[in-house]
Amino acid sequence: MIDRRTLLSALAVSALLPPGAALAGAPEERLYLSAFDDDNRSHHAAVFDGEGRILSTIPLPDRGHGGAFHPTRGEAVAFARRPGDFAVAFEARTGRVVATIRSPEGRHFYGHGVFTADGRLLYATENDYETGDGAIGIWDASNGYRRVGAFASNGIGPHELRFMPDGRTLAVANGGILTHPDSGRRKLNIPDMDPTLALIDSTDGTLVRETRLPREMHKLSIRHLAVAPGGEIGVALQYQGPKEDRPPLVFLWKDGEARLLDLPGDTLERMENYCGSAAMDPAGRVLGISAPRGDLAAFFAVEDGRFLESVKLDDGCGLAPGAGPADFVLSSGNGKRLLHTVGRQGDDRILPASAAHWDNHITPWRA
């Protein structure tokens, strides 16, 4: 299912790029992409800068979710929320639509995608809903976003995916939850969930490494990821078991080992078994995890997994790296956005107000 000539050609070019070379066309200021709804419940995506100024907006046919920035061409891609079948590529600064991408018949998107370092290929998580298998679809961004292949995600319900620092290995959050469009967003296999964190060779779909939590924790769905320059992966979890349970909701992965992270009891209680987004600060030293049901984001030291602090934001889910070490950008469903620096409680900067009800994710330029 893979056009190997296209894949190998694209990845050969990517492999020759020195670190940072793919950023040659990136803007000097930091840009962010997020889906949002307006007061009329119409669906959109927007690009804004580090000061919160909205540079462009586009309408979406249904609710959006995550996104991706092309590393050199000034384009953004907004993905549909599960079980949507569309993604829209557009010019980040003008909003001009470049392409509308459709998932193949029998598949839908899971709301997340990522470009190769040179921008040639776009990878996206998909559900082959007749078989129930997770898949990674591949699109040639250099040729009108033509589909050129796919491979297995090696699990069920793949959600977020990120490239590892080598630029070749994909980290994929297989949430383990079986769904089908005929059942809407209903979860069909909770008793038998089998979530995994899969590392996959993006050139051929080979499973490089697979990590599971202990069997008794199989109802912790692995959903969102953040990758540090040193190869650590921060993982945000969503618990599908009894509401009164309070399992860990975050783990740090390194070299094949998953370390569950501790949270203060009152913070864990407020999170209500649900994490919404994960992000690393630009230095890769602080992991941020949002918890919209708890109206907070929690932060951890990547070095040793220590809980550092939490910040309050009503219905806050969007989370992305800010401009400097320990800096983060947060957004909420009530339209609020703020800049937060870990270790400087009380110095939060509120970005300009908008009528947007921001959706779950903020994608930074070069996520």
Task: Write down the domain spans for the chain.
Answer: 30-365
- pLDDT at site 9: 59
- pLDDT at site 366: 56
Dihedral sign for Cα atoms in the order 264, 265, 266, 267: positive
- pLDDT at site 367: 38
Question: In the numeric block, which tokens belong to residue 95?
Answer: 């909003």
- pLDDT at site 21: 42
DSSP, collapsed to helix, strand or coil, labels residue 351 as: coil
**Global pTM value:** 0.93
What is the 3-class SS of the chain, one letter each residue? CECHHHHHHHHHHHHHCCCCHHHCCCCCCCEEEEEEECCCCCEEEEEEECCCCEEEEEECCCCEEEEEECCCCCEEEEEECCCCCEEEEEECCCCCEEEEEECCCCEEEEEEEEECCCCCEEEEEEEECCCCEEEEEEEEHHHCCEEEEEEECCCCCEEEEEECCCCCEEEEEECCCCCCHHHCCCCCCHHHCCCEEEEEECCCCCEEEEECCCHHHCCEEEEEEEECCCCCEEEEEEECCCCCCCCCCEEEEECCEEEECCCCHHHHHHHCCECCEEEECCCCCEEEEEEHHHCEEEEEECCCCCEEEEEECCCEEEEEECCCCCEEEEEECCCCEEEEECCCCCCCEECCCCCCEECCCCEECCC
Check: CB of residue 151 under 8 Å from CB of residue 2.
yes
Q: What are phi and psi of 166, to 5 degrees?
A: -75, -10
Per-residue pLDDT of the chain (367 residues; tens, 9 = 90+): 555 555 555 555 554 443 344 444 444 579 999 999 999 999 999 999 999 999 999 999 999 999 999 999 999 999 999 999 999 999 999 999 999 999 999 999 999 999 999 999 999 999 999 999 999 999 999 999 999 999 999 999 999 999 999 999 999 999 999 999 888 889 999 999 999 999 999 999 999 999 999 999 999 999 999 999 999 999 999 999 999 999 999 999 999 999 999 999 999 999 999 999 999 999 999 999 999 999 999 999 999 999 999 999 999 999 999 999 999 999 999 999 999 999 998 899 999 988 899 999 999 995 3
Closest CA to 158 of 170, 177, 174: 174
- pLDDT at site 172: 99
Check: CB of residue 35 under 8 Å from CB of residue 88.
no
- Starting at the earlier edge strand, list the strands of the sheet with 158-163: 158-163, 169-174, 196-201, 207-211
The DSSP secondary-structure symbol of 141 reads G
Q: How far apart are CA 284 and CA 287, in angstroms?
A: 7
| CATH H superfamily, domain 30-365 | YVTN repeat-like/Quinoprotein amine dehydrogenase (2.130.10.10)
DSSP, collapsed to helix, strand or coil, labels residue 212 as: coil
